């Protein structure tokens, strides 16, 4: 069942197209992330779903009904912004209770629901605290509690962890994901942080320049990027031009390699993507590619090495360190050689 659908959504601001023909189906209880570089149109997409912007063309459906022109407050959708937008002059209880009071819900019921929410976000006993006495992470949790207390069917989150430091951000990523599974609400989440998207999402929508580049599970997006943009954006990659000779046989760096891809035409110009961690260091005699180590950087769990071969600089992540100047052999197994259509720069 799709709870939200965007059909052929295009958005222009002053004649400039910022979203082009967006088609998106969001399932009930899904954690879906819009991921892409700054300015690619993530926030605009979210604002269209929330009703804060109207698309120039196209429709927005909620549970199958056209809501394109329904105002935000009539949608069963709530939003959590990066800046927490809490009321500083109200305490925690009144911040969470705000929406319920407006709806004239009975006092006992409000009190019960606020308590429930505080338990959900792990801040029991914080009712009477002032907003400015809370840490950034606590304020963000209150903002989420305030959005969830209205029992929306969909929660929109725009870079909600952007203002937090790295450690807290990582803790909150896991907490948010668990919270979403517990409450069973659809989360539509915006981030430009690929690691965050990979950690939290059921589905990732990779966007660039107002267009969807790929939709898939984190594993699909990481392992089978559809084009060089996705491959580069999601983690580091070696991307090299190649030629497809026949199904399962590709040429790059002047040599033929077995791969697991088929369905490309003979002689087709393609791009080959190989993850740095998928290149194995072997002896020069056993390498299907050879090169000389040009730089080594210690990265904590692995070393990052740049290895110069005759026509390409390879990035390798390995727990084995070879000093600068060493000649090494490299191999890659066929399933780690990813073939993608060459997208010519416009
Ligand atoms: P960021 O990660 O930096 O927030 P984003 O992917 O969320 O970026 P959007 O905020 O959706 O991107 O912006 C997409 C494009 O639309 C940008 O070029 C932006 O300048 C433009 N834009 C957004 N809102 C407006 C507006 N109200 N008027 C004019 N242009 C706008």
Place of tokens 């948010």: 176
* Tens-place pLDDT, residues 17-52: 999 999 999 999 999 999 999 999 999 999 999 999
∠ CA(282), CA(287), CA(292), 5° rounding? 80
* Tens-place pLDDT, residues 120-140: 888 999 999 999 999 888 898
- Residue 140 or 108, more confident: 108
Closest listed residue to residue 253, CA positions, set 308, 326, 328: 308
Res 62: pLDDT: 97
Confidence band of 114 (pLDDT split at 50, 70, 90): very high
The token pair at 228 is 């060089």
User: Is the C-beta atom of 192 inside 6 A of ligand 1?
Assistant: yes
Instruction: Give the contacts of 28 (CB within 8 A, at least 6 positions apart).
Output: 1, 2, 3, 153, 186
- Residue 158 or 262, more confident: 158
Q: Residue 120 phi/psi, 5° resolution?
A: -60, -40
Distance 209 CA to ligand 1 centre (A): 10
Residue bearing the CA closest to ligand 1, atom 26: 13
User: Is the C-beta atom of 75 inside 6 A of ligand 1?
Assistant: no
Instruction: Give the contacts of 224 (CB within 8 A, at least 6 positions apart).
Output: 216, 338
Q: Residue 12 phi/psi, 5° resolution?
A: -120, 140
Confidence band of 141 (pLDDT split at 50, 70, 90): confident
Burial 254-286 (b: 16+ CB within 10 A, else e): eeebebebeebeeeeebbbbbbbebbbbeeeee
Place of tokens 């026949």: 246
**Contact of 62 with 72, CB cutoff 8 Å:** no
Res 227: pLDDT: 87
Q: How far apart are the first and last CA of the chain?
A: 38
3-state class (DSSP) for residue 303: strand
Separation between Cα atoms, residue 346 and residue 331, nearest integer Å: 34
* Tens-place pLDDT, residues 245-287: 999 999 999 999 999 988 899 998 899 999 999 999 999 999 9
User: Is the C-beta atom of 37 inside 6 A of ligand 1?
Assistant: no
Separation between Cα atoms, residue 215 and residue 42, nearest integer Å: 14
Q: Name the CATH code of domain 2-228 (choices 3.40.50.300, 1.10.150.120, 3.20.20.70, 3.40.190.80).
A: 3.40.50.300
Does the domain at 236-341 match CATH 3.40.50.800? Answer given as no
Region(s) of the chain under CATH 2.40.50.140: 236-341
CB neighbourhood size of 12 (10 A): 14
Region(s) of the chain under CATH 3.40.50.300: 2-228
Res 345: pLDDT: 52
The token pair at 130 is 């002032």
Report DSSP letters for 99-120, one per residue.
HHHHTT--HHHHHHHHHHHHHH
Res 83: pLDDT: 65
Distance 188 CA to ligand 1 centre (A): 17
Q: Residue 115 phi/psi, 5° resolution?
A: -60, -45
Separation between Cα atoms, residue 220 and residue 57, nearest integer Å: 30
User: Is the C-beta atom of 267 inside 6 A of ligand 1?
Assistant: no
Separation between Cα atoms, residue 201 and residue 176, nearest integer Å: 11
Res 342: pLDDT: 81
Give percent above pLDDT 90 in the chain.
Answer: 72
Question: Chain-centre distance of CA 125, in angstroms?
Answer: 34
Tell me the range of 73-87, 91-105, 152-166 where mean pLDDT is highest. Answer: 91-105
3-state class (DSSP) for residue 17: strand
**Contact of 267 with 242, CB cutoff 8 Å:** no
Instruction: Give the contacts of 73 (CB within 8 A, at least 6 positions apart).
Output: none
Instruction: Give the contacts of 326 (CB within 8 A, at least 6 positions apart).
Output: 292, 293
∠ CA(204), CA(47), CA(7), 5° rounding? 65
3-state class (DSSP) for residue 199: helix
Residue range 193-209: average pLDDT? Answer: 95
* Tens-place pLDDT, residues 214-244: 999 999 999 888 888 898 899 888 999 999 9
Res 346: pLDDT: 40
Distance 191 CA to ligand 1 centre (A): 13
Res 85: pLDDT: 76
Its pTM stands at 0.85
């Amino acid at each position: 069942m799709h709870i939200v659908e965007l059909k052929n959504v295009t958005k222009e601001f002053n004649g400039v197209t910022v979203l082009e023909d967006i088609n998106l189906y969001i399932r009930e209880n899904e954690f879906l992330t819009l991921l892409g570089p700054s300015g690619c149109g993530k926030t605009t997409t979210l604002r269209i779903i929330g009703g804060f912007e109207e698309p120039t063309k196209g429709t927005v459906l909620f549970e199958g009904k056209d809501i394109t022109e329904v105002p935000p407050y009539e949608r069963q959708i709530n939003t959590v912004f990066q800046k927490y937008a809490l009321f500083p002059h109200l305490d925690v209880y009144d911040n969470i209770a705000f929406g319920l009071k407006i709806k004239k819900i009975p006092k006992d019921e409000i009190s019960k629901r606020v308590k429930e929410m505080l338990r959900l976000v792990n801040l029991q006993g914080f009712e009477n605290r002032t907003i400015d006495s809370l840490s950034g992470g606590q304020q963000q949790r209150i903002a989420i509690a305030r959005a969830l207390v209205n029992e929306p069917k969909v929660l929109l989150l725009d870079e909600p962890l952007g203002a937090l430091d790295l450690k807290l951000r990582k803790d909150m990523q896991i907490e948010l994901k668990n919270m979403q599974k517990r409450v069973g609400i659809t989360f539509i989440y915006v981030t430009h942080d690929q690691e965050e998207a990979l950690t939290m999402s059921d589905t990732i929508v990779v966007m660039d320049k107002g267009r969807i580049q790929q939709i898939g599970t984190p594993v699909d997006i990481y392992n089978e990027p559809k084009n060089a943009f996705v491959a580069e954006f999601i983690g580091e990659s070696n991307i090299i031009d190649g030629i497809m000779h026949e199904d399962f046989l590709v040429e790059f760096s002047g040599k033929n390699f077995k791969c697991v891809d088929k369905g490309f035409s003979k002689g087709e110009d393609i791009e080959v993507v190989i993850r740095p961690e998928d290149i194995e260091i072997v002896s020069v005699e056993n390498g299907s590619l050879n090169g000389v180590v040009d730089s080594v950087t210690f990265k904590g769990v692995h070393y990052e090495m740049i290895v110069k071969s005759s026509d390409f600089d390879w990035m390798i992540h390995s727990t084995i360190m070879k000093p600068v100047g060493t000649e090494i052999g490299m191999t890659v197994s066929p399933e780690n050689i990813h073939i993608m259509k060459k997208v010519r720069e416009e």
